[in-house]
Amino acid sequence: MIDLTISAALERLDRGEITALALTEACLARIRRLDPQVRAFLTVTEELALEQAAAADRRRTAGERAPLLGIPLAIKDIIATQGIQTTAGSRILQGFRPPYTATCVQRLLDAGAILLGKTNTDEFAMGSSTENSGYFATRNPWDLARVPGGSSGGSAAAVAARMAPGALGTDTGGSVRQPAALCGTVGLKPSYGRVSRYGLIAYASSLDQAGTFTCTVRDAALLLGVMAGHDPHDATTMPLPVPDYAAALDGADVRGLRIGLPEEYFTAGIQPEVEAAVRAAVETLARLGAEVMAISLPHTRYGLPVYYLVATAECSANLARFDGVRYGPRLETGDMWQDYKTTRGTLFGPEVKRRIMLGTYALSAGYYDAYYGNAQKVRTLIRDDFNRAFEQVDVIITPTSPTTAFRLGEKVDDPLQMYLSDVYTVTVNLAGLPGLSLPCGFDGNGLPVGLQIIGPAFEEARLLRVGHAYQQATDWHLRAPMLA
């Protein structure tokens, strides 16, 4: 049962061929067997999952139906779950149990989903390898000596290793799409405002967005259809109708679709095997009837510096609340101000401290306009580039990551090299657009390559149709890592 996609599991549950309890027990057994190697989970909620599965079976027996009734899922540990430890991968929140559940998770639970546990993350979602977790590093199921990507590496690894048929992550600068690419899963980052951020522990509020990990595009469509929609708890959610994303995939094709290939994404520094796999995927779409044309996104080269000014500035404000007074442990010294300094200085990790200091500097008197102010102006130029491009094309296709998974420890002491892992993803967040990553091949070491599809704001249905058509014509998504 662990090889079932969400869609296939729902069909078998509907036909009475399997039970939610049996499916959940299979996932939990696989977690017990494989997670000591992969280390995807910070918390496994076994007792709760079994209770929810038994309740789902009772509801089915009574004739009830719900979109995800009986489907086990994992949740990134930066998303609030009432009464269940939520640490954001940081020791400064160790033991914290939120008094409420995030809207995106609650909607999944209301649709019948089952909570398997909370997955590992770079501390406060700050990282590209899940090595910045305050607890331990997660490993890539395709090669345990390599990283799963980040910051949602635990969720990506859990789905890749078939410990869960689906998982939630968050994406501030690529933290769903990049680990999806490195782990060979489907990663969907919706438009900013499509899914509620209520209950996401904030890193950068103008960039954060909840996203999904699945094995197929159809499964991503199912989860998005449940999560999306306006939320009165989040003023940034848009009051737009939510399409039936999964139903729209039936009969989907790409005939007449205009695909843009931005020249700025195929330059020096990209791994040759990554470029070859992505171009082969574009050729597949062309054979299916799509029209391919070269485009330019000229301000792409400013994406990383703009991102690391905007994101760090927002994080320096958002993380001020973590001082040992209201949340998590407090290291007492006998003096209030020293308590703050000791708690934050000891329990925040080095990458979090680095970003808080960068952001505080960018916001400081005399530097605000030169750094943060100018970054916001260039952010507008980046969004304008995309708007002009979408006047010519329907979707834009790029690599998700410039390389396949790198080795554990390879970049952890070189922040600039680590930041370059997100060079193809950050501009999508800066512009508030939807992005979809799906597997499109493997390199010579047997590591997955990710294809990124970008669309106009709130056109997730278009991305899903393109991705689904590609998966119907290929079998990359059917491959799974072999773990002892």
423: DSSP letter: T
pLDDT tens-digit map of 58-86: 999 999 999 999 999 999 999 999 999 99
Share of the chain above pLDDT 90, in %: 94
Given 7, 76, 133, 316, which residue is catalytic?
76
**Are 256 and 291 in contact, with CB atoms under 8 Å apart?**
yes
Given 7, 129, 155, 175, which residue is catalytic?
175
Which residues in 153-220 belong to E strands, given as ranges?
166-170, 186-189, 210-214
CA dihedral (398, 403, 405, 411) in degrees, to 10, reads -130
Averaged pLDDT, 360-364: 94
In what order do the strands lie in the sheet containing 72-76?
A: 41-44, 114-119, 72-76, 166-170, 210-214, 186-189, 435-442, 448-454, 395-399, 258-262, 291-295
Name the residue ranges covered by the structural domains of the chain.
Answer: 6-252
Confidence class for position 121, pLDDT limits 50, 70, 90: very high
Q: In the block, which residue shows the tokens 């002009």?
A: 388
Give the domain 6-252 fold. Amidase signature (AS) enzymes (3.90.1300)
pLDDT beyond 80 at 484:
no
Confidence class for position 9, pLDDT limits 50, 70, 90: very high
pLDDT beyond 80 at 154:
yes
* Count of positions (residues) in the chain: 484
Confidence class for position 375, pLDDT limits 50, 70, 90: very high
**Are 84 and 118 in contact, with CB atoms under 8 Å apart?**
yes
What's CA 355's distance to the chain center, in Å?
A: 20
pLDDT tens-digit map of 179-224: 999 999 999 999 999 999 999 999 999 999 999 999 999 999 999 9
pLDDT tens-digit map of 283-339: 999 999 999 999 999 999 999 999 999 999 999 999 999 988 888 899 999 898 899
Given 7, 90, 129, 151, which residue is catalytic?
151
> Distance between CA atoms of 130 and 187, rounded to whole angstroms?
16
**401 assigned to active site:** no
49: DSSP letter: H
Strand partners, 143: 140
pLDDT tens-digit map of 162-187: 999 999 999 999 999 999 999 999 99
Averaged pLDDT, 24-39: 98
- So what's the pLDDT on residue 326? 86
> Distance between CA atoms of 356 and 345, rounded to whole angstroms?
12
φ, ψ of residue 387 to 5 degrees: the values are: -60, -45
- So what's the pLDDT on residue 327? 85
**76 assigned to active site:** yes
φ, ψ of residue 246 to 5 degrees: the values are: -70, -45
pLDDT beyond 90 at 12:
yes
**155 assigned to active site:** no
pLDDT beyond 90 at 269:
no
